[in-house]
Structure 1
Amino acid sequence: MAKDRAKAARDAGFDEEDLEWISSLRHDINEHQETAGEKFMRKLKSNPLVPIGCLATITALSVGLWNFKSGRSQASQRMMRMRVLAQGFTVAALIGGIAANALKSTAANEAADK
């Protein structure tokens, strides 16, 4: 198989060393695949307010629907308003986390350039 690649590279006008970086890149990519749990924990550590907002939204929605089913319209309306506030908090936390990560990466790039 390696001989086939070397022959194909020569036929295309490349030296075998010219394409060496591709195999090293493949090795680097396949070295460690992040699992879903690892990705979740990394995201949770970088922006912990988003899951808190999601949990608050789900809680307000659930309690509001329960109150609606039970016939308590005042409590249901209050919880639906809380849901909207929790959703707004979640969106604000998401945007804030994106902005913070962008500023952090910009600062890291500037420090690397110096």
Structure 2
Amino acid sequence: MSGPISSITGRLKEEPLVSLGVAGTIGALLYATWGIHRNNPKQTQWGMRGRVIMQGLTIAALLGYGLLRSKDASKATSPNKSSIRPIDWDKLEREAREAEAKDSETKSQTPTSPALEKLKARLQREKEAEAKSVFAKENPKK
């Protein structure tokens, strides 16, 4: 089961110092609260100082466990130097140029349909007619 109880107990086993720090913080806070209830400023002061110290130690334990986990994760994910093969940049560049040349050849050799040819011819005639009409308007014959 992966319920909340098993998650909590798993964390308690993985990070015992954090659990101790939380318990110590709660204990110091209860000690200070008891001092407030009994109107004992010395006990209250010691309880609050203990709470601050225990909180600091808890945060230090959290940071320490986080650092250990990050080191373990980086060791697990870092590849071996022997598994990395060198890159032949010249070969890659040559292959890219060959692929570009092959691609441009296939584009220039693609057969076009007769309908497409007719459409291109019609567009060309329209452009020429428009160009003639523009020049005719600009330079009227005298």
Q: Name the % identity.
A: 30
Structure with bigger helix share is: 1
Q: Distance in 2 between matches of 1:106 and 1:39?
A: 24
Runs of 4 or more consecutive aligned structure 1 residues displaced over 4 Å after TM superposition:
none
Q: State the superposition RMSD in angstroms.
A: 1.3
Query: In the alignment, what sits opposite 2:33?
Result: 65
Deviation of residue 45 (structure 1)?
2.2
Aligned-partner Cα distance in 2 for 1:95–1:70: 36
Unaligned runs of 5+ in 1: 1-32
Give 1 or 2 for the bigger CA radius of gyration: 2
Does residue 38 in structure 1 map to residue 13 in structure 2? no
Tell me how far 1:99 sits from its aligned partner.
Answer: 0.9
Per the normalisation by structure 2, the TM-score is 0.53
Aligned to 2:60: 92
Partner SS, residue 34 of structure 1: coil
Describe the superposition over 1:40-82 as per-residue Cα deviations: whole angstroms up to 9, x where unpaired.
1222222111110000000000011111110110111011000
The higher-RCO structure (CA 8 Å, 6+ apart) is 1
Aligned to 1:75: 43
Q: Which runs of 5+ in 2 are unaligned?
A: 81-142
1:55 aligns with 2:27: no
Letter in 1 for 2:28: A
TM-score by length of 1: 0.65
CA contact (8 A) 1:46 1:97 kept: no
Corresponding residue pairs, total? 80
Question: What CA distance in whole angstroms lies between the structure 1 residues aligned with 2:21 and 2:49?
Answer: 14
- Structure 2 residue identity aligned to 1:72: N
